[in-house]
Structure 1
Amino acid sequence: MEDNRLKPYTPEPSASDGAASPLRFDFPTGNDPQSIRKRIEAMEMILERSFVLPGTNYRIGLDSIVGLIPVVGDIITAAMGSYLVWEARNLGVPKWKLWQMMGRIGFDSAVGSIPVVGDAFDLVYRSNTKNLKTVKKHLDKHHPQTRVIDQ
C-alpha cells in the first residue's frame, strides 16, 4: 500500500557542484478521502497561516499578503480558495454547503477588494479556515477513517 503522508524531500548533492536542491514536499495525489484531507489542510495552511507577522505571534498567509495587490490579488486568492470548494465537491459535500463555502470566499473577496479596510479585514476574516472546518466535519462524519487527532 502506498504511503500518502506529506514527506519532506531530502536533497541529495548534485554531481556537478555538490550543492543541495531546495526543500520540496511530496503531496498526496490520490482521490481517496485521506489524500484529499491532507491537500486541503496544506492549502488552508498556505492561505491562512504560513507566516508569522514580525514582532508578533500572529500568523498570516498568502491570502493576506497577495490581497495587498489591488484587484488581481483578491482574484488570485479567491481562485486558490475555490480549490478547497472543488475538493469538497469531489468528496460529496452537499450543494448547500458548497454554496455556503463559495459565499464565504465571495464575501472575503468583496470586502478584501476595498482599499486599506479590505487589507485589515483579510488579517482577521479567515474564509479558508472556516471552509476547511466545514469539510473536516463532513469527512469526520462520512469518512471517519480520515480523522486525525489534533495535537
Structure 2
Amino acid sequence: MEAVLERLFVVPGINRPVGLDSILGLVPVVGDIVTASMGAWLVWEARNLGMSKFQLARMAGNVGIDAVLGAVPIVGDLFDFAFRSNSRNLRIIKRYLDKHHPGTIMVEGEAVAIDR
C-alpha cells in the first residue's frame, strides 16, 4: 500500500518517486479523502498487529497532517509531494516488527524467517 501511495513511478528529470497520494491529491476534496482512507488502512493494520496506542497515535497524526494540509489548494499539492506520511508510517511498523518479532527481518520489502 505504501508503494502505491508514495512510490508508484519516478518522475523523469527530477528522479523523484510519486504515487497515488500526490496524483489523487490534485483532485479537490475527493482525492484527499480517498488517499486519507488508504493511509488510515495502514493504521488499522498496525492496530491489528498489536502496536501501542502511542505508535498508532503517531501514525494517525501523520495521516491527519497529510489529509488536512493536503486539502489546501496548490500548497497542499506541493506538501503531498514532499511529506510522505505513508512512508513514515511504514517505518514505524517496521521498527515495531523488528523489535517485537525478531524471528523475521525485512529484506527489500519482504519478510524472511530466520531459524535460530
Q: TM-score, normalised by structure 1?
A: 0.69
| 4+ aligned runs moved over 3 Å, structure 1 | none
Hey, which of these two has a bigger chunk of helix by percent? 2
Q: Please tell me whether Structure 1 or Structure 2 has the larger radius of gyration of its CA atoms.
A: 1
Do structure 1's residue 77 and structure 2's residue 27 form an aligned pair?
no
Structure 2, unaligned stretches of length 5 or more? 110-116
Question: Are 2:69 and 1:111 equivalent residues in the alignment?
Answer: yes
Structure 1 or 2: larger strand share? 2
- 2:88 paired residue number: 130
SS at structure 2 position matched to 1:93: coil
Distance 1:76 1:137 in 2: 27
For 1:2-151, list aligned pairs within 5 A.
43-150=1-108
The structure, 1 or 2, with the larger RCO (C-alpha pairs under 8 Å, 6+ apart) is 2
Q: What percentage of residue pairs aligned between the two structures are identical?
A: 57
Q: Deviations over 1:90-139 (max 9, x none)?
A: 11100111011101101101000000000001000000000000000000
Q: Deviations over 1:27-59 (max 9, x none)?
A: xxxxxxxxxxxxxxxx10110011111332110
Task: Name the CA distance, whole Å, in 1 between partners of 2:74 and 2:11.
Answer: 17
> Partners in 2 of 1:54 and 1:68 — Cα distance?
19
5+ residue gaps, structure 1: 1-42
TM-score by length of 2: 0.89
Report the counterpart of residue 11 of structure 1 in structure 2: none
